[in-house]
Structure 1
Amino acid sequence: FSVDLDGYTFNESNWKYVYYCRIYDLYMFPSLNGVLLSIDDNRTDPLNPSCFANQTRNGTRWKYGTSLKSSLTILANSLQPNQTYQFMVYMENRQNCSTQATGYVLVTVGTIDSQMIAVGCVIWTMCTPNLEFQLVNPTTQVALFSLCIGDCDNIQNITWNIYQGTTNISSNSTQWTLFNQMNINENIWFFGWNTSNFTALNQLFLNNPQINLWRFQVIYGFTLQASSSALNFVINQPPINGSCSISPYNGTTSTSFNISCSNWLDEDGIKDYSIYAWTTDPQERTFISFSSVSIFQVRLPSGDDQTSLLHLIVQIRDTLDCITEYNMSSINVLPDTLGITNLLNNLQSSSNALANDPTIQLLSSGNQNIIGQIIGCLSQQSNKMNSDAIDQAVSSGIPAASISVSQLGSTTSQGSSTPLNATALIQYKKDLNSHANLREYLMTFTTNLDISTSNNIKLQASSLAQLTQATNQLTRTALTLALDKCYQLSLALYSMVTKISYEDVQIITTQLIQCATNILTAVNGPLQQRTDILDLDSSRATAFPTDYDTDLESAWSNPNLFSDGNDFSWETIQQGRNTYYQKQLANQVTTKVNQILSLLTSISNIQLNIGQNLIINTSSTFMSLETISMKSLSNKQVQQVGNARINIPKNFKSNISDNSTVSLRKMSGLILGKNIEELADNFSLGPGP
């Protein structure tokens, strides 16, 4: 048989259960000689009375649900009204007595019947139990949901309150004080204040580091009464007291840099180390690598174009996903132009030359971190070389609109009055196809990489976004591989969205959307005569198929698919073949990209609350996703890129009720026209989470 160590199936028969109770705020748990007295124990502690002190020997105040004692029912009139009790359950595994667990619950006894309200975390891994509290990481948001159990037809209103706590050592209890900044931070730090779901951003914790205990309470108002429930949190302390260093301080994109992190302390244990790099803007950091060990090697992208300076950040994460960021010494990294030149030449040479290339040997290692780093470094250099080549071509009289698609929001090119330089055009196309071959070859190393963890997905999404950035250098094969991988990563992210932080979801979603829109732009470029037809695509489209004699339905043998009206000339047919296959792929890409966007929208909706929005602004796309009430949609102005906006009329009609929440997605991407680049605005409305 096999055991899934990552599974969370609970078998009640595998455990022993012991229950304890105390009168909260007044007494400790009853004990004698340092040993706690369970509710079954007839002995008494004179200093700390039992919750059932008035119980007669023959009376019954509680009962177990089963012979296993896995559940406990407190009978009516067993506890005193207007009093709070704390119950504790101790669990011990029957097969392994060293495996233990302890849980707590606070029960306030009222004088009237009230509905039961349940509260939980949307992302359950972000709320790890810790005795009578839930652990919360100060670097991530807290998203809570609540449910009314039973007869809940007369809910009048819902209100959330936040309390900060201090510990009363003498009574071993917590005193809660209402947090006084809720009003001024509504829809800034706090979202969903009057709904069943509530979200507090990490700014609450980061701006109040002196507060270690927090309570989130929800109150349901009914016609004649109110019911409440709450979750208590304690801040999970991040790793402390360590440092990280790097050597050497100078190198190239082919240099193996050594990173050493030492003396990091955390009571939960260190889970892993992640490296991020940036040049001019710390908000535009690139994910480089992750490691479960404290000493490891990385290959880094080149630094700033002018200074070669590269800034590095290490994230040290504990086993409960609490993070400390450490700024390492900045280093100088130059691009290895000789290395990429040799690689480009070897791709055109014999297979032996390619097999002996040191970069290819590293890519063939199968190591995810190494492959991600190599692809990132090569993509960065190739993207820069492509940008320089386009600038050089335009200065040589080649129209910019015929060889590239400019970035979203960039200034429209005015064109050049320089006469066309035929030699420059030949050189541009030679370099273009050389780099297209490289990108396709690099793409093959991404297909079988593991995508079982958020770090894996994050690294691969970052690599794909960089590798697809030069949309004029992507062959149909490269586009197909990138599209399939982007879709697989989106599915994998969807499967774990309730297990990873909102911040990680943001990072991955941004990269995947950039990848998808890059692919969409690239496949349409040749069709709109905005980018050149690549040699690999042309040769594959016109090559005689190996199954020509056996595949009677082959499109290749039907000239009507490739002609231009009545023009059946050889040149027209050959050009038409490439256009046909490009259109076929474009249709597939459009369908798959829509599926990717739908997946990523659903993923974001799970973690977004009413009033919250997610903005993704990259060189290829702008997307804003928010959850709002239907009532607030009327007369709303939707701002887009630049000065573009959409005005929703005041008398907007819908079959959705005013109190319902809806998801509003605003997206701007590139539509490729023959002579002009336009913004495509996509405005979509759907049910809220």
Structure 2
Amino acid sequence: IPYEDVQLSATQLIQCAANVLTAVNGPLQQRTTILDLDYSRATTFPADYDTDLESAWSNPNLFADGNDFSWETIERNRNIYYQKQLANQIINQMNEIIALLSSSLNIHLNIGQQSIIDTSQVFMSLESKSIESLSNKLSQQMVNVQIQLPENLNLNLSNNSKISIRTMVTPLAPFGNTTTQSNINLSTCVSFSILGENENEISVQTDLNRPIEIIIPRDSNLIIPSMILQNVTSMNSTPHNQLFNFQYINITSTLPISVHLEIQPLNSSLAYLFIYKFDQVPQLNSSIKQIDGSQLFCPSGLTNESIYHYFLDNQQTFGHQSLIFGLRELNSTEMSDVCSNSSITYLPITNERFNFTSNYQLRIYTSGCYYIDNNNQWKSEGLIVGPLTNHNQTQCFSTHLTSFAGGFVVLPEPVNWSYVFAHADFNRNKTIYLTVICVSLMYIILTIYARYKDKKDLEKLGVTPLPDNHQSDEYVYEIIVFTG
């Protein structure tokens, strides 16, 4: 078969398969809506509902949300249940099609040649190389995707071996067979494989000292929410003793995430001191230093958009539930001392309450690097989010090759703890304090009463032995009496 015919057939087949894969994952990723007719067909009772005891329809626990067994919940989750089954089936069929097309195209490729399928639905590249070409760092760039291998990658193959490098990009990452929240519905899916002469995938393992770098783009139509104004100057007139303006964000996640903070001062000539601590309120003064990290924000570090950036990767946030950070505006003396001399490493510490002369805007988002395993589960082992991650892409450092996607979520406005502390006095919150006190007293009284009743019940359960009126009797009887 001529190569041109194979290329044309492969393009149409992979394009059709990619369309089906995107369509079946669209509703699961909440990127497309479900048609009423499809929803009706998915929730219609099967003909063997009352005879097939092993049918999923016979087990409402599969479709309930905890204790919510309402009909609407069961219908919605039943549709998702079967949609996930269909999506996983199509993923497996898609992998089979890719393997067959790779084998057919690879027959016509000599060492150094490349076959590219580039459509709006899918990008696929298959390149034939010698093992010697991997001795130098290999960089693949296509459709905003970049994959960079480390130097001296060892594949345990002879120097004259022929390999094939397959790269594939689909516009929407598959939902997978996972119950964990990965937030990959705005990510493309990037697959990178190295094939041997027998068309089998070669396992590639490296370490985080020499990682594989992958740049994963997001949906080009993504609209980023605007930054949130922080009216910190209004707190200058409020009585408080806070040294920093503290804010709290919840970073609880089943899969590791990175945290990205963007601070845009309305006055770009100001400098700030930024501190943070996981799971606790950070403290920094002349006598206490309880922080997990800090950063000086000087005007020289502003981006072209006049934004200060701070980044915490997924290794730093792993195992933590919350992040509390504080920001303080530096006065002119502190700014002159620490911002004019880049060699200064100490922090400007003060015991005076904060005083902001200008407001700033804030935006916080999280990202993540994930791969899909053989069971269609999204995992994060061996992946680190890189500092080049932004609104448009996720930079991942990996120790292995497979299919990757990047998570992305813009967080809501964080809780302003400085405002909470400044307005927590009794006179401002009489109703709240009295309600809490009354409820607490009622709880204590009920607890004491319940304990008293429990002790009475235990007394009633006791067994009292009675002396025998005839010493010669040999029979023993046991009678237990309980009065409620």
Q: TM-score range by the shorter chain?
A: 0.3 to 0.5
TM-score by length of structure 1 reads 0.27
TM-score in terms of structure 2 length: 0.38
* Greater RCO structure (CA 8 Å; 6+ sep): 2
